[in-house]
Structures are given as structure tokens and as C-alpha cells.
Structure 1
Amino acid sequence: MKLSVSGRATAAAAVAAVTLLAGGSIADAAPASRTPVAAAPDLPVANIKAHLTQLQSIATANGGNRAHGRAGYKASLDYVKARLDAAGFTTTVQQFTSSGRTGYNLIADWPGGDTNQVIMAGSHLDGVSAGPGINDNGSGSAAVLETALAVSRAGYHPAKHLRFAWWGAEELGMVGSRYYVRNLSSANRAKIKGYLNFDMIGSPNPGYFVYDDDPAIEKTFKDYFTGLGIATEPETEGDGRSDHASFKNVGIPVGGLFSGADYLKTAAQAAKWGGTAGRAFDRCYHSSCDTTANINDTALDRNGDAVAHAVWQLSS
């Protein structure tokens, strides 16, 4: 997650109205009557953690990090791309330049579905130069990857077209996702009915935060956690600090999950979610200790399953 914080001014009703005027939202795209949505598969947390182990190994072999323009980033992208190619996705590597270094986005399209109604799920794959970036943002990247692989394993045939993305240079200001959005034609932007962002979803002292930008997407996540008996809170720490901002800024409905960065967990939050009050959600945020030891398995498991749930629900 990028460091700097920007302000936010949003209201659910206003977002819904603007979305309708702008040409459609998740709810717009749904048919008036439909068959029940197939339940998303449970994502084995061991599979997600195996991806994190690979990202840790890549960082260790490449100077301890996976930062933009460094060998560890390109090796991370190559790992994700190879898994997707083998699973039957159509992958595209998009190249850009930032801070004098070459960066890459990875886009993966699942064949089929209405290409005029695209649901995207994405995460930033880069980390900072100080450490391996396993929670920030190996956690989101691994969960999105495992969701994509689950789509392939299930032979899922959604009504809408599914697209997954891993962004470069987020830590430098959402550079990769902004490049992607800016290079879409207005017609192709309009086809994206929802973008789901996952940035830091395995924090060691976790909270359960849901983006409150688009009401339909927000409800999808909140309903999932309600089913688990877990109270959520609106996500505010990351406003304007991750790749969803690139999509939101051009009118695309966005949503996502977050488990907290360097803000301190309050006593009320500790009573609700467990963990330690007065301690950061992630004490290793942007540090060398952001390793595979810096992951809460329960948060990773719950959030990973929520990724899959939202992809299945919103693409049906």
C-alpha cells in the first residue's frame, strides 16, 4: 500500500446515483430474474500460503525485496504468469516506465462471459525495497491468484467476463494501475462493471475492513462476513492509497478488503476482533520483517474465501 493518504468524500446514495447515470453498476448488469448463484469454492489457505512462500523465496534470492524495477519484481510476475498460463488464462504483460525503471502489469482474462460486462479483481504485486513485502502485498496477490486458479479448477462459466490483474509500482503512487486505466478506450472503461482490490489482507493483528465505495459491492462482502458472524468496519486507512483509486477516479465502481496497516488497533476493535489494542495492525508495514512470519493465517483464510465469494457472486 502506498504511504501517502488522500481525503475522501463519498456517500453511498450519491455513488449509486452517479454510477447509474454513468452507464451501469454491478446491480444494473444483473438480469431481472436469475438462477441461484453457485457457491464459490473454499480456497485452501495452504495454497495461498504456498504462493507466499514462493514470493518470499523470490525476494530472498533477489536482494531481499520485490520492488519496482528490481529483479525480484519481474521474478514475482513470471511466477504468477506461469501459473495462470498453465491454468488456461489468456495473459498479457503491460510494460511502462517509472522513476527510470521498467515496470510491468500482468492481466489475465478467463475465456468466456459477456465481454461487455467485465468484473475485475486485482492487487499490487510490488513491494518496497526495505523488505520482501509478504503482507504488503503478497497477501492480496496470492489470494487473487488462488481465486483465479479456483476459477480454472471449477471450470467456472460466469455470465460476465472475468479479468484478474497484478499491478506494478503501486508503492510509487499506483503507477501501474493508473497506466492501465489511462490506456483503456472510453468504450473499454465502460465495459468494466466492477473492480475489486485486495491490498494487505493477512495483517498479523488484523481488522476486517470493507471498502464502502460502491453499495452493491460493499454489500456482497458485508453479507459474506455477516454469515461468518464477523462484524466489519468501513475501510478508511487506505482511502486513495491503493489501486482501486485509479478505477474510482474514472467512474468505475470499486470495492475490496483490507486488514490494516500502521494504524493502531483500538480497544473496541480488539474486543470485537481479538488481537492487541494499542498495537499496529501490521507492525512490519514497509519493513524488513514483512516476511511469511508476518501473516495471520485466520485473516488470510477468511479474506481469501471472501475474494472468491465476491468474484463468484458479482460475475454470475
Structure 2
Amino acid sequence: MTLSVPGRLPTALTVAAAALLTGGTVAWAAPAPATPRAAAAAPDIPVANVKAHLARLQSIATANGGNRAHGRSGNKASLDYVKSKLDAAGFATSVQQFTSSGRTGYNLVADWPGGDTGHVVMTGAHLDSVSAGPGINDDGSGSAATLETALAVSRTGYHPAKHLRFAWWGAEELGMVGSRTYVNGLSAADRSKITAYLNFDMIGSPNPGYFVYDDDPALEKTFQDYFTGLGIATEPETEGDGRSDHAPFKNAGIPVGGLFSGADYIKTAAQATKWGGTSGRAFDRCYHQACDTSANIDDTALDHDSDAVAYAVWTLSS
């Protein structure tokens, strides 16, 4: 006799037993292949949230001598603001101190619990400004988009296959001091675990372009695919090549990628036709100046680029 469970199909063992009892034969079906893990869809990053972080960075600069430069009170206050948001969202945060030009600087690193720690997708931006101004595009824009993407990881309860790590660097304006200190402090084994480092330095320029780092073909394609979906053409990033925090990672053999909306190079007529804006004018006329305030941001570029940050993080870590 066979046991059956009402409302359920017979198991393979039950079918086999019945066939043997009745003199029949058993035809074994191969097990169905495992369903591959589906890539999770990245959430939309609300540009209003990103701009709220920029407003806070602006207010910090205003209250601290007009800047957030290395070794100044505005830099530490910026770090405290970002860290408080990440701590409340459930990240494991750590602060790395270093000294440059006789002043103390800080790196903030935030790890999202879970994921394969042997395969780390890392995203970063620099949190310091020049001493001449508040640095809201350079690089409040990248810092805010990276922060809001990290908060979206927590908000959506994302469970990536790979481990996620986010970082905000100090003293980039002095020659990538913070990121170089971090990379130099990693063991060879820990460096090998970072499968991608994504850098976002200036992504809301007021006369914007859409530039993609071309250092690693796979990472470059990830961003190109996103912008192709929006119908936006991109160009390889050359203006800031080697001049931002991806350089120490690249020099250590870690694959790097990222976005850039332009600094003091001049937008050409062809680029203005492609992206809008004004030809014959710098992508950011306030680059490294006091006028790099919260008014020095193109909301559309900031929106597109912030969403691209999340798209890359989700795509590469699923």
C-alpha cells in the first residue's frame, strides 16, 4: 500500500513503488536544473534625498569657516554627519585616522553585514573640500550619492551575494592621501578580495557631461548599459584620470570604475549638442572656488548619476 497526502502529488518514491508492485517500469526524470540567482533590481535613488545631504554639507561648511577641508572642523563635522546616518541604518562603521601636512585626516569605511566577504564591491567618494570653498559638487555630490545609495541598501533590506563596502575619503585634495593610506594598509589577501572599486568624484556639475571611467571594460560596460537605457550617450573619462581616489586602487591591481560630470575643461559644441548645456564654457566654472555651493548643482545630472551609482552597486553585487 502507499501513503498519500490529500491535495499533494505523489512523490517520486511513491510512483516508483507503485510501478514495481504492478510489474511496471520506472522512468526516472533528470532533476530540474537549479534556478540561477536573479539579479536584484536597483531602487530609484530620490534626488531630493541626495540634495538634502548636500544641504547639510553646505550648512556644515557655512558654520565652519566656509569649507570642509582636510584638518579643518568642517571636515570632521561632515564625517560625523555621514557616520551617524550609516550607524542608524545598521552599517558597521570604522574611522581610520592619518596625518597629512601636519593635520589629522579621516577615512570613514562602512560595511553592510552579509554577502561573500571574499568578493567585495566597494564604492567611494572623497569627503574633503578645498580650503577655498564648501565643495558641494567637488565632492559633496559623490559623497551624498554614495551615502544615499548605502541608505537605500538598508532601506530595501538588500541581501547581496557579494559583500558591500562604502567609503568616504579624507585629503583627496592633497593628492589622494586618505585612499592611498587605506589601500597601502591592506594586506595582499584583502586587496585581492575587492572585485571592484567604484569612484564618484563630481557627478552634479552645472554644465554637465556624462563621462564613464574606461579603466576596466566590464565596469565601464555596466555604466554604459545604464545610460544606454536612458538614451544618453557617454564618453570615456579623461579629465580626471589618475587624479582621484580610484588611482591608488588601480595602482594596486584592483578593477576600478566610476562616473564624472566634468570640472574645468571646456564643453565642446559637439558635447553641448549631445548633452545640452553651454558650449565654450567649463563643465564646472566654480571648480575649486568659493562658488562651489549648493547652487552649483545640475539636478538632472545628479539624479541620473545617483541612480547609476545604485544600478552599478546592485548589478555588480547580485
* Normalised TM-score (structure 2): 0.89
CA distance in 2, matches of 1:157, 1:106: 22
The aligned length equals: 285
- Alignment correspondent of 2:257: 255
Residue number among 95, 110, 129 corresponding to 1:108 in the alignment: 110
Give a deviation string over 1:209-231, Cα, whole Å, max 9, x none.
Answer: 00001111100000000000000
CA distance in 2, matches of 1:250, 1:40: 29
Residue number among 135, 145, 148 corresponding to 1:146 in the alignment: 148
- Alignment correspondent of 1:180: 182
Change (3 A) 1:228 1:101: same
Q: Secondary structure at the match of 1:251?
A: coil
CA distance in 1, matches of 2:305, 2:184: 29
CA distance in 1, matches of 2:156, 2:139: 26
Q: Secondary structure at the match of 1:293?
A: coil
- Alignment correspondent of 1:86: 88
Residue number among 286, 292, 302 corresponding to 2:288 in the alignment: 286
State the Cα distance separating 1:34 from its structure 2 match.
3.1
2:98 is matched by which residue type in structure 1? F
Q: Secondary structure at the match of 2:93?
A: strand
- Alignment correspondent of 2:247: 245
State the Cα distance separating 1:38 from its structure 2 match.
1.4
> Does residue 76 of the first structure (1) align with residue 51 of the second (2)?
no
CA distance in 2, matches of 1:220, 1:58: 34
CA distance in 2, matches of 1:257, 1:299: 11
- Alignment correspondent of 1:225: 227
Give a deviation string over 1:121-169, Cα, whole Å, max 9, x none.
Answer: 0000000000000000000000000000000000000000000000000
Indicate the percent of aligned positions where both proteins have the same amino acid: 83
1:262 is matched by which residue type in structure 2? D
- Alignment correspondent of 2:53: 51
> Does residue 167 of the first structure (1) align with residue 169 of the second (2)?
yes
1:241 is matched by which residue type in structure 2? R
Alignment of structure 1 residues 108-147 onto 2, 5 Å: 108-147=110-149
- Alignment correspondent of 2:199: 197
Give a deviation string over 1:39-84, Cα, whole Å, max 9, x none.
Answer: 1000000000000000000000000000000000000000000000
Q: Secondary structure at the match of 1:284?
A: coil
CA distance in 2, matches of 1:213, 1:87: 32
Give a deviation string over 1:88-138, Cα, whole Å, max 9, x none.
Answer: 000000000000000000000000000000000000000000000000000
- Alignment correspondent of 1:5: none
- Alignment correspondent of 1:65: 67
> Does residue 157 of the first structure (1) align with residue 164 of the second (2)?
no
Residue number among 214, 230, 234 corresponding to 1:212 in the alignment: 214
- Alignment correspondent of 1:270: 272
- Alignment correspondent of 2:25: none
CA distance in 2, matches of 1:81, 1:153: 16
CA distance in 2, matches of 1:36, 1:293: 40
Give a deviation string over 1:9-41, Cα, whole Å, max 9, x none.
Answer: xxxxxxxxxxxxxxxxxxxxxxx9833211100
Q: Secondary structure at the match of 2:295?
A: helix
Q: Secondary structure at the match of 1:292?
A: coil
Q: What's the Cα RMSD here?
A: 0.9
Structure index of larger Rg: 2
Q: Secondary structure at the match of 1:294?
A: coil
- Could you tell me which runs of 5 or more consecutive residues in structure 2 were left unpaired when the two chains were aligned: 1-33
